[in-house]
Amino acid sequence: MAGALSHLRILDLSRVLAGPWAGQLLADLGADVIKVEKPGEGDDTRAWGPPFLKDADGRDTRESAYYLSTNRGKRSLAIDFTRPEGQALVRQLAAQCDVVLENFKAGGLAKYGLDYASLRQVRPDIVYCSITGFGQDGPYAHRAGYDFLVQGMGGLMSLTGEPDGDPMKVGVALTDIFTGMYASVAVLAALAHRDRTGQGQHVDLALLDVQVAVLANQASNYLVGGMVPRRLGNAHPNIVPYQAFPTADGHVILAVGNDGQFQKFCGVAGCPALAEDPRFATNAERVRNRETLVPLLKAALGARPSAEWIRDLEAAGVPCGPINNLAQVFDNPQIQHRGMVARLDHPEAGQVNLVANPIHFSETPIAYDRAPPRLGADTDDLLSDLLGLDEVAIAELRAKGVV
């Protein structure tokens, strides 16, 4: 069955993470995504290992686990668009595409004639999505932006880590990933606008803007309350108890979202008087008296092992859970039932296991039928099928180093 976006073709000029993440999501939804890479080099992330995917003989391929995580479902076209001939090829391809994704520095593609102003000349209704660190305008527009830097500049690291420890980044490149997600939504909105009006447009996304946007309740706490939020470790600024607690043999997460759940917890923990104490009876009071309550809860939870707490609290309807490592995550029966590992055929490795898309459609299910492509694997087919070039013309381009 064709995917929901099988009528769309995407020209993906991006590399590393934010742009490729958007391209992968659109590919998962059925779009034909053409990943343009420089011959002989390709996306930087191909070399970001180890680990690397191993071939059938156990030898490392040229595809890192990092690259594999964000390029499923695409076709790879190797073109050097720093050369005039390569620029001409990309413009011809753009004329047959609905969307262009790129994450070069602001204005960086203009010198190649591949910016929005140039490509709208060959495809007036093109949706052109630019992803940069700081946007297309403003005093920082020409700075290079990286996820780690933006987590710091955008406030996330000021909220992450123990109160008396160092500021910490999140363990994955969350700003890049959120930017890719916002880019996908923006592209689909722009396409919906095009369907109604016939107009294409330029979509401008900045990592810094996205990082500020996803501060969510913490940003609102500051804008509404006027106080700069501080690091709370695993605790929550607006809910108590909502954090990790040490147990007799490890840790357990307690996520009490309302007063009824707190009463149930106190019953299981053998301390019902805490739920009746005016200092702790409501969430607002528990937040105000956090410093008094949390040590009492730590003492109670430290008396029993994690598995017992999880068993008894789940039975009582109190949200709780373990802190799993990734081996435990992928062994989890719920994760396995939901099919969160996608197994794709790969020409060198035989098979590659990747994290599946979490979206489940009733009518247009996601098809995992194209592994992340080897560099330039689809060059000849794409130049032939889309641009009508014959073997001689392709050979000439290859001899010149254009493809």
Residues classed as catalytic: 176
Q: List Cβ neighbours of 285 (8 Å cut-off, separation of 6 or more).
A: 278, 279
Query: For 305, phi and psi rounded to 5 degrees?
Result: -75, 160
Identify the bridge partners of residue 99 per DSSP, sorted by sequence position.
Answer: 10, 127
CA distance 157 to 151: 6
Judge contact between 89 and 34, C-beta under 8 A. no
Q: Is 330 left (phi over 0), alpha (psi -120 to 50) or beta?
A: alpha
Q: Cα separations (Å) of 200 from 19, 125, 251?
A: 19, 4, 52
d(CA 236, CA 241): 8
Please state, in angstroms and rounded to a whole number, the distance separating the CA atoms of residues 235 and 332.
25
* 3-class secondary-structure state, position 143: coil
Q: Are 370 and 344 in contact (CB under 8 A)?
A: yes
Where residue 114 falls (left for φ over 0; alpha for ψ -120 to 50; beta otherwise) is alpha
Distance CA 2, CA 124 (A): 27
Rounded Cα distance between 54 and 144, Å, is 33
H/E stretch holding 177 reads helix 174-197
Q: How far apart are CA 169 and CA 147, in angstroms?
A: 9
